[in-house]
Amino acid sequence: MSARQRRVAGLTVVVLAAMGAGQAQSLEAQTTSGPCTVTPAAASGADACQKARDLFGFVVPQIGIAVSSGNPVLGEGGTLGGWPKRAFSFRVSAVDGQLPKNAVPISVTGSAVGSDFGAARTPIPLPSADAAIGIFPGIPLGLTNTLGVDVLLGASYLPTVKESTFEVAPRNGGFAFQYGVRVGALQESSFIPGLSVSYMRRKLPTVDLGYTPNNDTLTVTGTSVTSNALRVVASKRFAIFGIAAGVGRDEIEGSASMRASVNETVLATNQRFLVQLPDLRYTTTRNTAFVNASIGLGLARVVGEYGWSGEGTVRETVNQFGGRKADEGYRYGSLGIAFRF
């Protein structure tokens, strides 16, 4: 083995070892916030604020998985081979998710009360367009090239998703943009599979999470979710058929604020209480694995993806979700069409 081949092999081993170490580490999930306030001040906002924290921590990981998805560019594993080569894909990804379905009361007296929001199976879709643009072809290495570089770009759209009393509603048209880079360990050739490492920073369109039980309203406003996605992907084409598989790690971050309007009868008089919770934040790290299968149709390829996002540290909540746990594992899939020029 030449010195250059040893360097490439060493790079690949280091990357895969880092991914394995990440698998073994504890995946921390944490929800923090600013002070909980209520008007009039004589009431208590503890229950409304705790419900907001638990709802936020239950829904954000699922949205984060939809944002991260699996392969940065469907069906592609290696780099493209430098300028002006390009690859484009259009996909619809969906998480096999769970959203709250029960109307539970919100109290403004005493401490937080544990309630069961229930959970209904609800797909969380995210249409997106992704592009890879070849920048550097890499260094020749036998029948392939190594250390090629592609720039990754993308845009996603989130539609409104509703289940009973809970709604995910995007703002400003529901569009957001992503960017990243892909570095090739091996460029795919007739005899050599493609192998690459990529980083993608993806952002969800800003959304409001609305919960309207009975005559109360709890809104988690300005929810922003970002994902830092690291992927190691291998791929190979055989005539018109292609396969790709990869593993990765996602750092998911969410931020928002909460406001709630709670109506209660006090001394035979109907009163409205305003509860606010600023600077609501959620962070978690999850591992993922996925496979792609494709078939060529002229210049285009139809690609399907199936993946699994493993659970993080199971964060205990005061409220329940029909036996489901916050930050548990979820299945996801994508179907799309890809082009390469």
Tens of pLDDT, residue by residue over 317-328, are 889 998 888 778
User: What are the residues facing 30 on neighbouring strands?
Assistant: 283
Nearest alpha-carbon partner for 224 in 254, 258, 179, 259: 254
Comparing C-alpha atoms, which of 302, 248, 307, 251 is closest to residue 74?
302
Coil, strand or helix at 151: strand
pTM of the predicted model as reported, rounded to 2 decimal places: 0.82
What ranges make up the beta strands (E) of 142-216?
Answer: 144-146, 149-157, 161-163, 166-170, 175-186, 194-203, 207-211
Residue 34, Ramachandran bin (φ over 0: left; ψ between -120 and 50: alpha; else beta): beta
Rounded CA-CA distance 113/317 in Å is 11
Mean local confidence (pLDDT), 161-171: 83
Of residues 52 and 233, the one with the higher pLDDT is: 233
Q: Six-digit token pair at 172?
A: 């400003």
pLDDT band (50, 70, 90) for residue 85: very high
221 bridge partner residues: 257
- Cβ density class 148-174: b for 16+ within 10 Å, e for less: bbbebbbebbbeebebbbbbbbbeeeb
Q: Is the separation of the CB atoms in 107 and 161 below 8 Å? A: no
Contact yes or no for 104/153 (Cβ under 8 A)? no
The answer for residues whose C-beta is within 8 angstroms of residue 111's C-beta and 6 or more apart is 44, 46, 47
Element at 311 (helix H, strand E) = none
Count: domains in the chain: 1
- pLDDT for residue 279 is more than 90: no
Q: Which residues are paired to 116 by β-bridges?
A: 320
Q: Which of 157, 205, 203, 201 is nearest to 181 (CA)?
A: 201
User: How far is Cα 196 from Cα 132, in angstroms, rounded to an integer?
Assistant: 13
Domain that holds residue 245: 3-340
Closest listed residue to residue 67, CA positions, set 180, 138, 131, 157: 157
Dihedrals phi, psi of 189, to nearest 5 degrees: -140, -170
Backbone angles phi, psi at 231, to 5 degrees: -135, 145
Q: How many C-beta atoms surround the C-beta of residue 334 within 10 A?
A: 24
Spatial CA neighbour of 306 closest among 280, 288, 319: 288
Mean pLDDT throughout 88-99?
Answer: 92
pLDDT of residue 27: 42
Q: What gap in Å lies between CA 280 and CA 58, rounded to an integer?
A: 13
φ, ψ of residue 46 to 5 degrees: the values are: -60, -45
Res. 304: pLDDT tops 90? yes
pLDDT tens per residue across span 129-156: 999 999 999 999 988 899 999 999 999 8
With cut-offs at 50, 70 and 90, classify the pLDDT of residue 180.
very high
CA separation for the pair 129, 87 (Å, rounded): 11
Nearest-10 Cα torsion for 340, 292, 28, 327: 120
